[in-house]
Structure 1
Amino acid sequence: MTRRITLTLLALTTVLLVLAVVPLGVLMTARERVAFRDDQQATTRAIAAAAEEHLSDHRPATAMRKELHAAAEAGDCAAVYDASARLVASTECTAAQGEEARELVDRVLAGHEPVPPENEGRLLAAEPAGDVRQPAGAVVLARSAAPLNARIAGIWGWSAGIGLLGLAASVLLSVRLARWVSRPLSTLDAAAQRLGEGVLGERAAVDGGPPEVRRLAATFNTMAARTEALVHGHRAVIADVSHQLRTPLAALRLRLDVLAAGAEGDTAEELAAAQGEIARLSRLVDGLLAVARAEQATPRPVAVRVDEVVAERVDAWSPVAEERNVLLTTPSGPALAASLGSGHLEQILDNLIANALDAVPDGGSVTVGVRAAGRFARVRVTDDGPGMDTDAKAVAFHRFGSSRARGTGLGLAIVHRLVTVNGGTVSLEDTPGGGLTVVLDLPLWSRGEPGRHATSVPETGA
């Protein structure tokens, strides 16, 4: 914004200065040229008047020589010619006696208007001595154009200096104006970014910039305060639910365990079924809490080595896979770093691997592969279980979208939330030969060298 405002005002000032200074400079230059010519013509006429007294009235040449001496003192070159174009008198300088001067004399003696040329930096002027139609002679005056050129250069120099000062003042004022406007906007933008990253106590300064920007900052602060109150309230509700539900569920489970220890027959079967329902309800509460925390996630991206995290999570789940007689493998892949929130990839893989191990029968297999796909790191979790039909895939990423009795229907919802909040995508495909493949496209890290990943406690909601 600062550059845009500065360039706009600079362009406007430049146009105004050009429209004002250039015509003024042209006008003053023309006036200097006219004044120079008029002064030269006046001096030439004075010499011509004195020469007429000598050539027509045959008076002494004293006045004529006096005028020639004054012209020489002023730095001019002058020459007086009679009616036959013969040189009568001149200054020591011979600039008024050349071929061009002769042509001017011939035109004056012929009664024509002389067209004075410029000769080696000198301006020539010619005047008839006496009557214009029958002159008794002619006077030619050559004057150096250096003083005129110096005055013209001075005019344009001052004009350029004024223009540059105007441009400098315009740049200074425009930069100050742009910063006055853009600095509070930049501060507001940084505050909004930090608020989006989860710093709920962030507020924008409201003591600088135009009134509109100050009102915007005040409105942002009001919105941030309300958002902070809502999020804290939501988190408080989650904490209360966690405390209020987990505690009685644990107590109920203990009571059922005590009753089941001394029960027999149908009573034992009923208590075992009740214990199963309590366990499922506990998993459901844990899954709801995991989804709520995932939906509140506002990640600060870090460089996560996808290949290393995949290898670690496969190693962590290998004992579970062996216990269930399932082959869990990960083929070697390229070293890729993705831009993800710290610990998110671990949580995503834990949910997907847990779901796959639950779905695959004894003797089945689960494969977690990594490869590059354009601007993304592609992770594929493939199993050879029963798979999903089209209707199940359509609702798989919704809460309680799974109809499996063993699960809660929240694992894929958590995965979808964590992937999309980091700018990635997740989709479901059929595994060739039967089964389900979950495809993750995670954005590659592009702001520095790949970094080490941060581990976290697995949090599943399968």
Structure 2
Amino acid sequence: MTAVLLVLAVVPLAVLMTARERADYRDDLRSGTRVVAAAAEEHLSDGHAPTLMREELDAVARTGGCAAVYDAEVRLVASTPCPAAQGDEAEKLVGTVLSGHEPEPAEQGGRLLVAEPVGEIRGPVGAVVLARSAAPLDARIAATWGWSAAIGAAGLAASALLSVRLARWVSRPLSTLDATAKKLGEGALEERADVDGGPPEARSLAATFNAMAARTETLVHGHRAVIADVSHQLRTPLAALRLRLDLLAAEAEGDTAVELAAGQEEIARLSRLVDGLLAVARAEQAVPSPTAVQVDEVVAERVAAWAPVAEERGVRLAAPDGLALCAWMGSGHLEQILDNLIANALEAVPDGGSLTIDHRAVADSARVQVSDDGPGMNAEAKALAFRRFGNPQARGTGLGLAIVHRLVTINGGTAELTDTPGGGLTVVLDLPAYR
């Protein structure tokens, strides 16, 4: 925009100055020509000696010009040693002048030619042609355009410098705010934006961001404190209650023993439920610091760890060999995800069933599939499975898939439940691939 404005301002000005230079040069030539014509009139009209005419011609020659005096018959009367004011172009100008018209200047051999009548304009007794080099005019025109271009370039450079400074003044606090927001998103809750630099709108935005960050820090710390309190206040009495029931069950008989055993099972179930809720809460407040995770190695490690449990329950647990695959996610999250999925599958798959964990690269994702041949889920159960207690048919706490979904999504991945061909459930995880 600045360049367009400069062109619209500078170019017309340069054109105007060029036209002015040409007009001044031509007027100067005409003035010199009239001086010679006045001297020639005394000779051609009044019959005086050509002395004054010769003096004026010599003066023109000393300034580097060329001049020629013609009579009414277009015959050359006198001239300077330079013949540039003679020739066809000069004679055309003389003919125009003798016919009572004022001719436009002409160019010949790099010189500008002008002609003026000797005597009256309507009845001239002759004509004078004056020729001067156009080099001085061209030099002045070139200087005019050069200065115009320099002024335009200087204006454009100043505008660019001012624009860059202005852009940096505006964008620097925004860049700082972006970096602060990124650190805050990575878990550095104490990070705050700089509110001292930039325009008022950027400072106001930074102040609002800091207020939001402070509120977020307070909420997160409060959430963590609640989790810690719940962990302590619930687990301790549950452990004490379970111990007392164990002591009573050791000495009980008959119906009392049966009731105490049922109470022990409920206490154990309540303990698992508390542990599951705490695990979900920790997953929901987790802020991953992404790192390169070797998917094939983690899968092989978790399969080896769960193999004794699967063997005890009569389930075939396998992980086909695949290419090395690397995901970009929080350290330890893939292990938690696989542990929950394997635990859920082992609860659901009957004796003699199978559980397969596969991995491969798909587009920009590292895909992990956990497939079983258990009872599977209907469409309604799959739609609610990733919510807390979403599956009413779950044999465990109903929180495992909620933990899986949270850990996958906070790492920028997706989780989906599909049917296994031939029956069963397949969990498809698309995790960000490491580049």
TM-score category (smaller protein)? over 0.9
Query: Is residue 2:187 matched to residue 1:179?
Result: no
Structure 1 stretch displaced more, 400-409 or 124-133:
400-409
Return the letter of the residue paired with 1:345: L
* 1:33 aligned partner: 22
Task: Indicate which of 325, 336, 346 corresponds to 2:314.
Answer: 325
Query: Is residue 2:291 matched to residue 1:302?
Result: yes
* 2:107 aligned partner: 118
CA contact (8 A) 1:402 1:408 kept: no
> Could you tell me how far apart the structure 2 residues matched to 1:430 and 1:289 are?
30
Shift of 1:405: 6.7
Any residues of structure 2 matched to 1:196-235 within 5 Å, and which?
A: 196-235=185-224
* 2:130 aligned partner: 141
Q: C-alpha deviations, 1:246-276, integer Å up to 9, x for none?
A: 1111112222222222223322222222211
CA contact (8 A) 2:283 2:406 kept: yes
The CA RMSD measured in Å over matched residues stands at: 1.5
* 2:253 aligned partner: 264
> Could you tell me how far apart the structure 1 residues matched to 2:432 and 2:289 are?
14
Any residues of structure 2 matched to 1:59-138 within 5 Å, and which?
A: 59-138=48-127
Query: Is residue 2:157 matched to residue 1:168?
Result: yes
Q: Which runs of 5+ in 1 are unaligned?
A: 1-10, 447-462
* 2:229 aligned partner: 240
Structure 1 stretch displaced more, 190-199 or 257-266:
257-266
Query: Is residue 2:392 matched to residue 1:403?
Result: yes
Please, what TM-score do these two structures have when normalized by structure 2?
A: 0.96
> Could you tell me how far apart the structure 1 residues matched to 2:104 and 2:154 are?
41
Shift of 1:165: 1.0
CA contact (8 A) 2:367 2:429 kept: yes
* 1:252 aligned partner: 241
* 1:378 aligned partner: 367
Shift of 1:445: 2.4
Q: Any idea what SS the aligned residue of 1:303 has?
A: strand
Q: Matched residue pairs, number? A: 435
Shift of 1:159: 1.0
State the structure with bigger RCO (CA 8 A, min sep 6), 1 or 2.
1
> Could you tell me how far apart the structure 1 residues matched to 2:394 and 2:100 are?
124
Shift of 1:184: 0.5
Q: Any idea what SS the aligned residue of 1:95 has?
A: helix
* 1:391 aligned partner: 380
Please, what TM-score do these two structures have when normalized by structure 1?
A: 0.91
> Could you tell me how far apart the structure 2 residues matched to 1:31 and 1:406 are?
98
Query: Is residue 2:359 matched to residue 1:359?
Result: no
Task: Indicate which of 412, 417, 420 corresponds to 2:406.
Answer: 417
> Could you tell me how far apart the structure 2 residues matched to 1:418 and 1:366 are?
22
Shift of 1:225: 0.6
Provide closer, same or farther for how the CA distance between residues 135 and 389 of structure 1 changes in structure 2, counting only shifts above 3 A. Answer: closer
Query: Is residue 2:394 matched to residue 1:434?
Result: no
Q: C-alpha deviations, 1:115-173, integer Å up to 9, x for none?
A: 33211211001112112233222111001111111111111111111111111111111
Structure 1 stretch displaced more, 299-308 or 353-362:
299-308
Q: C-alpha deviations, 1:298-340, integer Å up to 9, x for none?
A: 2232222222211111111111111222110011223222222
> Could you tell me how far apart the structure 1 residues matched to 2:252 and 2:231 are?
31
Return the letter of the residue paired with 1:273: A
Query: Is residue 2:19 matched to residue 1:19?
Result: no
Task: Indicate which of 170, 180, 183 corresponds to 1:194.
Answer: 183
CA contact (8 A) 2:348 2:395 kept: no
Structure 1 stretch displaced more, 254-263 or 306-315:
254-263
Q: C-alpha deviations, 1:172-212, integer Å up to 9, x for none?
A: 11111111111001111111121122111010011101111
* 2:32 aligned partner: 43
Provide closer, same or farther for how the CA distance between residues 386 and 165 of structure 1 changes in structure 2, counting only shifts above 3 A. Answer: same
* Runs of 4 or more consecutive aligned structure 1 residues displaced over 4 Å after TM superposition: none
Identical counterparts, % of pairs: 76
> Could you tell me how far apart the structure 2 residues matched to 1:46 and 1:152 are?
26
> Could you tell me how far apart the structure 1 residues matched to 2:381 and 2:23 are?
96
> Could you tell me how far apart the structure 1 residues matched to 2:171 and 2:222 are?
35
Q: Any idea what SS the aligned residue of 2:84 has?
A: coil
Return the letter of the residue paired with 2:418: E
